[in-house]
Amino acid sequence: MEQLSNALPLQGIKVIEMGQLIAGPFASKLLGEFGAEVIKIEPPRAGDPLRKWRKLKDGTSLWWHVQSRNKHSLTLDLREPEAQDIVRQLVAEADVVVENFRPGTLEGWGLGWEALSQLNPRLIMLRISGYGQTGPYRDLPGFGVVGEAMGGLRHLTGYPGQPPVRVGVSIGDSLSSLYGVIGVLLALQERHRSGIGQQIDVALYESVFAMMESLVPEYDAFGYVREPAGSALPGITPSNSYLCKDGNYVLIAGNGDSIYKRLMTLMGRQDLAEDPRFAHNDGRAQHAELIDNAIGEWTSGFSRDEVMKALRGAHVPAGYPYTAADIVADPHYLARQMIEQTQTFAGPLKVPGVLPKLSRTPGRIGEGGPKLGEHTDDILAGLGLCEAQRQGLRERGII
């Protein structure tokens, strides 16, 4: 049996976060969960706007305690030269800078890639923006919603003939964060060989576009433009949601050839199970409506729990849409430590667990998100600024 190690994979890596809201801070969160020291720079007084997003407790967003856990908060007004000098001192000793300002913003403060990499040639800089650091759209503002639209996702969500709908979370930002973290880890690995850092350019729309599977080759080969299809997965049959007798839905993925046969047999539809037209997915996809109607007729005769029990007994992949209440009560979530309780300045709070799961050096959750500027004095004292200097900066609104 493997022995757990007290050393985390990114222990000793120092990250300076100069981002706000979602894409940059989510990337830093992931790095921090695996041992990186993350110093989050926030504007004085207001802080990161995420502090006031969605549901608040004691004046602070509950989301904050997920997005900013394990981080240290340093307040700096980056528009001020003295604050920029402090950033340069921090960067000189850092491994990674994470930022998600509009391209050109950091350059305007003298904190762009060229300046910081000259100061610290080993520096790795993750830059997440709407459209990337180059190209004709680079200067346009771009949030996750725009990336999801331009990346092709919004066109595919919803039902035919209806307005496009969004996924209920900021998926474009989060996908970009994941690509950003992959880039940071690749750059850290390469730095072991070269001793030199590099810049990582992640665009929101490209992160979404990378998830679009065969969208482009199908258009190139056949001129086929994929359209929204509701809860179905076009070209893959059966894979849909089906209404049960009690008004609840189940999601059934019976698109494997042997799985399809087991599903039809369970339903008592041996005729569909043995029909040679439906032996493989390409044939089933041509008759998706017929197959979906048959499944829907079957599920409509039973409650959701009855349908789920039968499907699991037949080894047919199935599920149902979980609410937050379902998630926190589910024994599998709990067994895999995907719901953890952390201590925050607003009290104990249940939060999502850490991914991915490493067997020997797993990530960890420390405390929830920091109070605004909670670590400012300690960080600046570590740079050699005495109490009088810090007080002067505070009086001038720089920290």
Same domain, 35 and 76: yes
* 125-180 pLDDT tens trace: 999 999 999 999 999 998 888 999 999 999 999 999 999 988 899 999 999 999 99
Q: Would you say 187 and 113 are in contact if contact means Cβ atoms under 8 Å apart?
A: no
What span, in angstroms and rounded, lies between the C-alpha atoms of 98 and 110?
16
- Mean pLDDT of the region 234-258: 96
Same domain, 258 and 355: no
- Mean pLDDT of the region 240-265: 97
Same domain, 167 and 279: no
CATH code of the domain in which 302 resides: 3.30.1540.10
Last residue of a domain, one of 319, 349, 376: 319
Domains of the chain: total: 2
Classify burial at 319, counting beta carbons within 10 Å of its beta carbon; exposed 0-12, middle 13-18, buried 19 or more.
Answer: middle
Same domain, 27 and 162: yes
Cut 0.85: pTM above it: yes
Strand partners, 73: 40
Omega within 30 of 0 (cis) for the link into 238: yes
Q: 233 lies in a domain?
A: no
CATH code of the domain in which 158 resides: 3.40.50.10540
pLDDT of residue 1: 59
Percent with pLDDT over 70 in the chain: 100
* pLDDT at position 3 over 80: no
Which range marks the domain in which residue 339 is found?
14-210+334-395
Q: Would you say 67 and 22 are in contact if contact means Cβ atoms under 8 Å apart?
A: yes
pLDDT of residue 143: 87
Tokens of 53: 């997003």
Which residues are part of the catalytic machinery?
Answer: 173
Omega within 30 of 0 (cis) for the link into 348: no
Q: Which residue has the tokens 């809860």?
A: 231
* 291-340 pLDDT tens trace: 999 999 999 999 999 999 999 999 999 999 999 999 999 999 999 999 99
